[in-house]
Amino acid sequence: MTKLLRPAVALVLVLAAGGARAQSVPSDNEEPAVRVDPPAPGTGYRLQVIAADALSVAVAIPGFEIEGNHAYNPRISEVLRTVGIGGYVLGGPLVHMAHRQYGRGAISLGLRVGLPILGAVIGVQTASCTPGEWFCGVGEAAAGMLIGAATAAIVDSAFVVPSAASSTPEPARAAAGPSAAVRFSPRLVAAPNVAMLGIGGQF
């Protein structure tokens, strides 16, 4: 049993010796086995988010304007409103994600869904309704929803979009660390009764 344990213990010592050297700094002439270049500085994309919102509003407004107008096919109004509202909800988050800012994209989506709903709830609470009145608070809810949507778009473009100096993609920042080299080298352990050849790693 002891003879069987000796090779295993020797192999553990080999790997431990390799890990203990993980903090060593390679010489200037030594090239790392794996190199990760630092990401290039970002350029910011605030104007892209603003442009997506402006385009969505420009599409949605005609859809609401011609709604109920018998001179136009009702299908046209429905398509314009759907595209405009969908572009507002998803346009900003998609721009964030196109720049690999996934966390910011999730925040943008939450703002664009949550703030209009919150605005509609507040608008309904401000309505003065009489008992038995139908559709009371619809106008106030619509106004609150519009205010919430405008607030979400402003907050997204002004605060959620990173500045030009900090818009490095999140995965790239995570990948770039103080040490970007992985090395493997052979290790030889010799004892009176056993000799072990193994591989040590440096991370």
Q: In this predicted model, what pLDDT tens digit does every residue of 14-58 receive, in sequence order?
A: 444 444 443 444 455 555 544 434 434 444 799 999 999 999 999
pLDDT at 175: 53
pLDDT at 68: 85
Q: How far is residue 87's CA from residue 93's CA, in Å, rounded to a whole number?
A: 10
Burial grade of 31 (CB within 10 A; 0-12, 13-18, 19 or more): exposed
Residues in the chain with pLDDT values less than 50: 1-5, 7-26, 33-43, 167, 178-182, 184, 203
Report the residue count for the chain. 203
Q: What is the pTM of this model?
A: 0.60
The domain locations on the chain are: 46-174
pLDDT at 196: 55
